[in-house]
Amino acid sequence: MLTSFMERIKQITDTWISFLLQSAAKFGNELTKEGKEDQRLWRQQRLRDLHFRPSKPVTTKRQKIVILGGGSGGLVAATQLGRKLGKDHDVILIDRRSEHIFMPAFLFLMVGQRQPKDIVRKLKKLEQRNVQVIQSQIEGIDPKSQQVLLDSGPISYDYLIISLGMRTAPELLPGFAEAAQHSWELEATLRLRETLRSFEEGTILIGVPPGPYRCPPAPYEAQWMLDSYFHQRGKRDKVKIEFFTPSPEPAGEDRVPAIWMDRQSKKRGIQQHYSFSVQSIDAQRKVVKALYGLELPYDLLFLVPPHQPSQVLLDSSLVETGSGIRVDYDTLVTRWGNVYCIGDCADMPVSKSGGVAHQQAEVVAHNLTVELTGEGEATTFRLHTL
């Protein structure tokens, strides 16, 4: 009885510490040097507490773990949980598609170095890893009743992992649909590939809108790949490539990634336009308009579409910010203790990319395995990226 009471006190204390840390993070830029050091020490103490927290009693009841989304994060979470828990618990992956599409290869598809068949795999292959795959449209999520509403009916869960990513939302930028092309969806990438094949001369303008979007390095990679593409075709001297971003011009040491990328682009003769915050596109004049009356002309516009969290997350009132669902930065758990959020739809100060989603999925899968088996120790998220 006393042990149970003390564990409850510990849980309450951890909750308050998490709340205070997240509140302090919002104002981190305003903290004094001493304040930032206090925050760092506080965080270290919390991580030690998490590491040595007694594990929950292991249940013998078969649990149902539902994973929403078959992208990079969902795929890794399902694979690892299926291997570790699939014989004793139900691991279920739900996606509206029947296939996993490897999105990082879209740029290679754009320049003809990959074909669609090279980057697509059947999700049903996960059944070899003790994962049940359900192809269905997800219409709602209700954490209170612990149910996911599908077009075929509701499905309950004991644990839920949300990995539904961000959706492209071109309708948020006036003129995008009429004027711009991009490589952030499979069909759009194939249309862009055909456009590039017939492009002989003129200005290609590559741009980034305000707000979060999938795979932040991709617009820079696109510049360099298009530079090589037109060199190989013998057309580079007739094709001018320019780039714009709402970010300010980078400054700092040579080892700073943004400085390196800026120099790589300029070395290839690609003009960079910084602090250019696009507001609309004039398709008739072929001009991109930005704040303060700035304009850039183009012959071919390659623009990252605006992004939003998945529509079902908005409709279910789970989204708390434009970047997605708030999570604990250490464990990826949401305000519902048995619901996790990973990948692009998780509101975290990290890039929205497949590499990040992969690492988040590993942490969640590991910790769920520890919780349900009582074996091993829980871990915390340690991101390895630029």
pLDDT of residue 239: 98
DSSP secondary structure letter of residue 317: T
Q: In Å, how far are 5, 125, 157, 328 from 53, measured between CA atoms?
A: 14, 37, 25, 16
Which structure tokens are listed for 262? 């800026």
**What is the identity of the amino acid at 256?**
V
Q: Give the span between the Cα atoms of 203 and 281, in whole angstroms.
A: 16
Q: In Å, how far are 55, 129, 134, 303 from 95, measured between CA atoms?
A: 32, 17, 7, 27
Cβ-proximal residues to 104 (8 Å cutoff; 6+ apart), any chain: 215, 354
Nearest one of 137, 135, 138, 157 to 146, comparing CA atoms: 157
Pairing of strands 132-135, 120-122: unpaired
pLDDT of residue 78: 98
pLDDT of residue 385: 59
Query: What region, left, alpha or beta, does residue 299 occupy, with left being phi > 0 and alpha being psi -120 to 50 degrees?
Result: alpha
**What is the identity of the amino acid at 173?**
L
**What is the identity of the amino acid at 196?**
L
Buried b or exposed e, range 46-57, using 16+ CB within 10 angstroms: beeebeeeeeee
pLDDT of residue 57: 54
Show contacts of 318-323: CB within 8 Å, 24+ apart. 318/141, 318/143, 318/162, 319/345, 320/347, 321/347, 322/211, 322/212, 323/212, 323/347, 323/348
Q: Helix, strand, coil shares of the chain as percentages rounded to 5?
A: 40, 25, 35
Cβ-proximal residues to 347 (8 Å cutoff; 6+ apart), any chain: 320, 321, 323, 324, 325, 326, 327
Q: Give the span between the Cα atoms of 85 and 92, in whole angstroms.
A: 11
**What is the identity of the amino acid at 156?**
S
pLDDT of residue 30: 39
DSSP string, 106-170: HHHHHTTSS-GGGSEEEGGGGGGGT-EEEE--EEEEETTTTEEEETTEEEE-SEEEE---EEE-G
Cβ neighbour number for residue 99 with a 10 Å cutoff: 16
Could you report the average pLDDT of every consecutive run of 10 residues in the chain (386 residues)? 44 42 39 48 48 52 96 97 97 97 96 96 96 97 97 96 96 96 97 98 96 92 97 97 96 88 95 97 97 96 96 95 94 96 95 94 97 94 74
pLDDT of residue 53: 46
